[in-house]
């Protein structure tokens, strides 16, 4: 009976969870150069280093903006911030659809540091956090993540399949970006009407008597939770950034056709998480903690990266290379975003959530300032060995993620023991 009751309570929050997942999908515009690496490079005429520099332009303000965004998420209505972020980023997609020059692209990515880095990530995370208790976070984030993936698959995989090689033309890329922009304008409007922020804040918020201001940053920095979340997100994000280069690697060294490269990029970025993310959330909720699931998925991921690196090169090995890559992403995506569970496993009060997320993301995503441009430079200068170095960096990122997860498990056990001792008094 208890299980049915919990399922019923989650059911009445499926729609807002779906909308928050849809809001997250608008961030996909940031990753178009990596999802469709070869077509994007062709249409906009960019080098590997220039593509990496686009991310650096975004990160130049987005990385410190995560901190400001965290404080804004605590001080103001996170729903309103999310709506502003979704609609403004949609307009940037329409601007990008004009296929501007490299300098204008840099400007667009810099503006996204406001719309995504400053406004979206922390406010959207807080909105999902407010939808339920610790026991429900895995499933709620699974629903949001699955929605993000489904929408992205419809947009990206659908267009890649329909347009094929035409995606590497201005007409094809323009059609993708226009559809993307119009779709998420509609999502932003829907959130206004179907997400009741005040209701969920009252039901699932954990309040403290602290006023929200920048002084909270000092308090948050003293919390173990912020350093654990930052370390987990940094390791996972470094790995995810490096693994994006599997896409051009298959094109360059296994001669995967352009149309197939586009479909592959969309599948690993968006289609696979449709299945992997909810499974990961279910396993996490069943375990009651994240660390066990992380270890059981990340160690096989390291092994598969090593196997993939040393598959013989050439078109005759395209199928085995593609299979290994797909299996790798299926396992890796199951638990690569579990850093969010730090909020509930460490019982972070609601008033601190936005600020803590901001500090953690500022540190965790700081690799955007240098890593994509650095990896692009490695590929331009060293070719195959640059790819080997890139995949080695992915392995290092996963190792860091595992270590941080072990620390989370240890700290969460101490917290539960301390609360049990206090309750017994």
Does the structure show a pLDDT above 90 at 318? yes
**Total-model pTM:** 0.76
- Model confidence band, residue 1 (pLDDT cutoffs 50, 70, 90): very low
For residue 165, give the nearest of 43, 332, 328 by alpha carbon: 43
Q: What is the percent of the chain where pLDDT is above 70?
A: 93
Question: Does the structure show a pLDDT above 60 at 9?
Answer: no
| Within a domain: 5 | no
Measured from the Cβ of residue 145, the count of other Cβ atoms closer than 10 Å reads: 25
376-389 per-residue burial string, b: 16 or more CB within 10 A, e: under 16: bbbbeeeeeebbee
Note whether residue 2 is domain-resident. no
**pLDDT confidence of residue 162:** 82
In a domain, 318, yes or no: yes
Q: What average pLDDT does the segment 180-188 reach?
A: 92
Q: Is pLDDT at 37 greater than 90 in this prediction?
A: no
Question: Which pLDDT value is given to residue 6?
Answer: 43
> With 90 as the cut, is the pLDDT of residue 210 above it?
no
Pick the last residue of a domain from 151, 184, 204.
Answer: 204
The pLDDT value recorded for residue 214 is 65
Same domain, 20 and 105: yes
pLDDT score recorded for residue 196: 81
> 99 CB contacts (<8 Å, ≥6 apart)?
43, 44, 170, 173, 174
Spatial contact of 44 and 347, defined as CB atoms under 8 Å apart: no
Residue 144: phi, psi to the nearest 5? -60, -45
Residues 170, 278, single domain; the answer is no
What is the residue whose two structure tokens read 């329409």?
Answer: 94
Please indicate, yes or no, whether residues 151 and 72 belong to a single structural domain of this protein.
Answer: yes
Q: What is the pLDDT of residue 2?
A: 42
Task: Quickly count: other Cβ atoms within 10 Å of residue 193's Cβ.
Answer: 8
Average pLDDT, the chain: 86
Top-ranked range on mean pLDDT: pick from 197-206, 211-220, 407-416? 407-416
Taking alpha carbons only, the member of 5, 125, 66 closest to residue 363 is 66
Q: Are the beta carbons of 125 and 43 closer than 8 angstroms?
A: no
**Lowest-confidence region among 73-87, 118-132, 255-269, 313-327:** 118-132
Residue 135 domain flag: yes
210 secondary structure, DSSP code: P
Q: Give a yes or no: residue 94 inside a domain.
A: yes
Do residue 191 and residue 267 come from a single domain?
no
Confidence class for position 77, pLDDT limits 50, 70, 90:
confident
pLDDT for res 134: 66
Residue from 335, 321, 340, 329 nearest 282 by CA: 335
> Is residue 7 one of the residues assigned to a domain?
no
Cα 412 to Cα 8, 34, 361, 401, distances in angstroms: 28, 36, 20, 16
pLDDT for 424? 73
CATH for 280: 1.20.1250.20
Q: Are residues 20 and 148 in the same domain?
A: yes
Average pLDDT, integer, range 241-266: 91
| pLDDT tens-digit map of 265-275 | 888 887 888 78
Residue 378 lies in a domain: yes
Regarding whether 125 and 32 lie in a shared domain, the answer is: yes
The DSSP string of 46-75 is: --HHHHHHHHHHHHHHHHHHHHHHHHHHHH
Residue 234: predicted pLDDT: 96
Question: Which domain does 80 fall in, by range?
Answer: 12-204
Q: What mean pLDDT comes out for the span 371-375?
A: 93
Report how many domains make up the chain. 2
Cβ pair 348, 225 in contact under 8 A: yes
pLDDT score of 96: 96
Residues 354 and 411 in one domain: yes
Q: How confident is the model at residue 248 (pLDDT cuts 50, 70, 90)?
A: very high
What pLDDT is stored for residue 270 in this prediction? 79
Q: Is the pLDDT of residue 356 over 90?
A: no
277 lies in the same domain as 355:
yes
In a domain, 6, yes or no: no
Asked which of 177, 204, 231 is the last residue of a domain, the reply is 204
- Residue ending a domain, choose from 139, 174, 204: 204
């Amino acid at each position: 009976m208890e299980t049915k009751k919990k399922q019923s309570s989650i059911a009445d929050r499926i729609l807002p969870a779906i909308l928050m997942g849809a809001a997250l999908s608008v961030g996909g515009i940031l990753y178009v150069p990596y999802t469709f690496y070869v077509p994007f490079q062709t249409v906009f005429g960019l080098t590997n280093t220039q593509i990496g520099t686009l991310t650096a332009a975004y990160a130049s303000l987005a990385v410190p903006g995560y901190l400001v965004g965290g404080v804004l998420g605590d001080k103001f209505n996170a729903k309103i911030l999310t709506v502003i972020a979704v609609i403004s980023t949609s307009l940037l997609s329409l601007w990008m659809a004009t296929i501007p020059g490299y300098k204008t692209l840099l400007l667009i990515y810099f503006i996204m540091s406001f719309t995504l880095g400053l406004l979206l990530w922390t406010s959207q995370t807080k909105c999902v956090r407010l939808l339920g208790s610790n026991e429900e976070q895995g499933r709620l984030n699974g629903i949001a993540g699955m929605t993000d993936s489904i929408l992205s698959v419809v947009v990206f995989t659908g267009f890649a399949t329909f347009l094929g090689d035409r995606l590497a033309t201005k007409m094809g890329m323009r059609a993708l970006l226009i559809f993307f922009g119009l779709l998420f304008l509609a999502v932003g409007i829907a959130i206004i009407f179907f997400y009741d922020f005040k209701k969920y804040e009252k039901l699932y918020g954990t309040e403290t008597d602290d006023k929200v201001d920048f002084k909270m940053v000092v308090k948050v920095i003293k919390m173990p939770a912020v350093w654990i979340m930052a370390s987990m997100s940094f390791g996972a994000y470094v790995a995810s950034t490096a693994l994006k280069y599997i896409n051009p690697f298959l094109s360059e060294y296994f001669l995967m056709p352009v149309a197939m490269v586009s479909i592959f990029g969309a599948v690993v970025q968006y289609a696979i998480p449709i299945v992997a993310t909810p499974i990961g959330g279910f396993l996490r909720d069943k375990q009651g903690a994240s660390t066990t699931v992380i270890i059981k998925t990340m160690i096989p991921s390291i092994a598969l990266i090593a196997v993939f690196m040393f598959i013989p090169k050439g078109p005759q090995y395209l199928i085995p290379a593609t299979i290994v890559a797909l299996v790798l992403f299926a396992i890796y995506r199951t638990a690569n975003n579990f850093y969010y569970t730090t909020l509930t496993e460490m019982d972070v009060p609601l008033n601190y959530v936005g600020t803590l997320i901001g500090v953690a993301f500022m540190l965790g995503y700081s690799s955007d300032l240098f890593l994509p441009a650095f990896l692009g430079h490695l590929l331009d200068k060293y070719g195959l060995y640059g790819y080997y170095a890139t995949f080695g960096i992915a392995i290092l990122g996963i190792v860091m993620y595992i270590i941080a997860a072990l620390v989370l498990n240890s700290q969460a056990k101490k917290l539960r023991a301390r609360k049990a001792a206090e309750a017994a008094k």
